[in-house]
Amino acid sequence: MSGGTIQSGAEVAGVMNEAQQQDLAVAAEKIHNLLKQLEKSYPTNTYEGKIALADKVIEKIKNDPTLTQRILSTLKAVGIISAAQLPPTNQ
In a domain, 84, yes or no: no
What pTM does this model have? 0.57
Q: Which domain holds residue 48?
A: 18-77
Asked if 82 and 76 count as a contact pair (C-beta separation under 8 A), the reply is yes
Is residue 91 in some structural domain?
A: no
Q: Is the pLDDT of residue 91 over 50?
A: no
The tens digit of pLDDT for each residue in 38-88 reads 888 888 899 998 899 889 988 988 899 988 888 887 777 767 666 555 566
> What are the Cα distances from residue 9, in Å, to 16, 19, 22, 38, 62?
10, 9, 14, 37, 29
Residue 51: inside a domain, yes or no? yes
Count up the domains in the chain and report the number.
1
